[in-house]
A = this chain, B = another copy of it.
Amino acid sequence: MSPSLVVTYHVHSDASAIAARAQAIAVEQSVEMPVAAIDDATVLTEIVGRVDGIEDLGDGRFAVRIRLAAATTGFEAGQLLNMLFGNTSIHPDIALVDVEPPPELAAAFGGPRHGIAGLRRRVGAPSRALTCSALKPQGLSPDALATIAGRLALGGVDFIKDDHGLADQAYAPFAARVAACAAAVAAANAATGGATRYAPSLSGDLDRLRRQARIARDHGLDTLLAAPMILGLPAFAALVADFPDMAFITHPAMAGATAIRPPLLLGRLFRLFGADATVFPHQGGRFGYSAATCRDLAEAARGDWLGLKPCLPVPAGGMTAERVAEMLDFYGSEIILLVGGSLLAAGSRLTEETAAFVQRVHAHGR
C-alpha cells in the first residue's frame, strides 16, 4: 500500500475485543464491507485498511494505529476527513487522535500560504508576540462596528478579527460592514502610522465566500477569518487555493470537544488545509482545554511538520490583558494574543485599554 496515511484512534474497549475492534475500524474507514466478500486482489492489497499497531494505554483505553491508502482520499479535503473519521465518528467511544499523512497529501493541500513570517510581515513585527482583538457584538450596524474597530486600531492592536458570529445578516451585511470597518481601521492606521489588520469573518457557500473575499481584497484587506467546520473543509481548502494573497485565521466553531483531538483538528489539519493562524480556547477561560492540550495544539500548529509553513497559535476564549505575562511565559512569542470581550467592556476607554494590553505584550521579556 503506497502512499499511505497512518491514523491513530483512541478506543475504549475490553482488552479481549480490541483486536477485532481495530480490524473493524480499518475496514470501516476503507472498504466498509466484509473483506471476505472482496475478490479483487488490488483492493485487498492496496485499499483495505490495515491495523499497524495496538497499544494499551491503561484504564480500558487503547491507541489503535490504522494504515489507510492515500488514494482513497482523492486528495480532496472533505474526502480526507471522510476517510479519517466519517463513519467512525459515530462511535461514541472512539476518538481521532493523530494523522501522519504522506508527502503527497501535504503537497496536494499546501498548508499555510503565508505562515508565521507572512503574518509578522503584515504588521511589521518580526519577533515579538502579536496582538488581536475581536469586533462585536453582532446586532450592531456597520457604522457602530466601524466605530469600535477604529478605537481598537487606535489602541495599536495588530489584528482585529470579526466575531465569528458576524456573518451576512440584515443588520450588518458583509459588504457594508467590511467597507465601514476597513475604512475606520485605515483611518486609524493613517493617524498612528500603525499597520493594524482587519480580518472579516466569512460565511456561506463557496459562491458567497469568493464574493466576500473579493470585497475584502477590494477594500485593501489581506487577512480573513474562517471557521472551517462551519464552512465545510472543501470550501475552506478551495478558498485558500483561490486567494493565495490572503492570510487565513481559522476559528474553532463546531469543532467539538470530544471526537477529534484539538491539536490534530485545530493544529495540524487546519494548518494542512491552509490556516496561517488558528484560534483556540486557552486554558482557564470559558472553555475546558487543559494546559497539556493547549501546549500540544500550539506545537502542532507551529512545529516542524511535513515541510509546511508554520501556523500561529491564537489562544483565546475569555482572555484578559491581565493574563498577558502568564500566556507569553507559557507559549513564548510565536503567538497571537487575542483579548476580545474584556477589552470591549472598557466602553469609552476602549482605545486606552487596548493600548495598555498592546503595551504589556510589547514590554514582556524586555
Contact = CB atoms under 8 A, between A and B. Distances in A.
A178 interface: no
A48 to B, nearest CB: 8
A137 interface: yes
Contacts of A43: 137-140
Interface in A76-110: 76, 78-79, 81-83, 85-87, 89-92
A319 interface: no
A136 B33 contact: yes
A234 B204 contact: yes
Interface in A157-174: 163-165, 167-171
B31 A139 contact: yes
Interface string A133-153: 010111110001000000000
A286 to B, nearest CB: 7
Interface string A234-252: 1101100000000000001
Contact of A85 (B32, B254, B347): B254
Interface stretch (A322-330, A336-344, A354-362): A336-344
Nearest to A92: B257
In the assembly, how many copies of this chain are there?
A: 2
A129 interface: no
Nearest to A174: B74
Contacts of A38: 137
B81 A254 contact: yes
Given A32-B137, A136-B33, A255-B90, A71 B345 contact: no
Contacts of A117: none
A54 interface: no
Interface stretch (A182-190, A225-233, A296-304): A225-233
B83 A165 contact: yes
A contacts with B: majority SS: loop
A164 B86 contact: yes
Nearest to A43: B139
A278 interface: no
| Most chain B CB within a 10 A radius of its CB, from A48, A169, A238 | A169
A272 to B, nearest CB: 16
A146 to B, nearest CB: 14
Contacts of A347: 37, 39
Contact of A287 (B91, B140, B167): B91
B232 A34 contact: no
Given A231-B78, A234-B205, A165 B72 contact: yes
A32 B257 contact: no
A351 B85 CA distance: 32
A78 B232 contact: yes
A253 interface: yes
Chain A to chain B: the 6 pairs with minimum beta-carbon distance, closest first = A232-B232, A47-B139, A86-B253, A31-B137, A33-B341, A43-B139
Interface of A: 24, 28, 30-34, 36-40, 42-43, 46-48, 69, 71-74, 76, 78-79, 81-83, 85-87, 89-92, 134, 136-140, 144, 163-165, 167-171, 203-208, 227, 230-235, 237-238, 252-259, 281, 286-288, 317, 340-342, 344-347
30 contacts: A31-B136, A32-B164, A33-B344, A33-B345, A37-B346, A40-B137, A43-B138, A47-B138, A47-B139, A71-B170, A72-B138, A74-B203, A76-B203, A76-B204, A82-B165, A82-B253, A83-B165, A87-B164, A87-B287, A89-B253, A89-B254, A91-B257, A206-B234, A207-B238, A208-B234, A230-B234, A234-B235, A256-B259, A257-B259, A258-B259
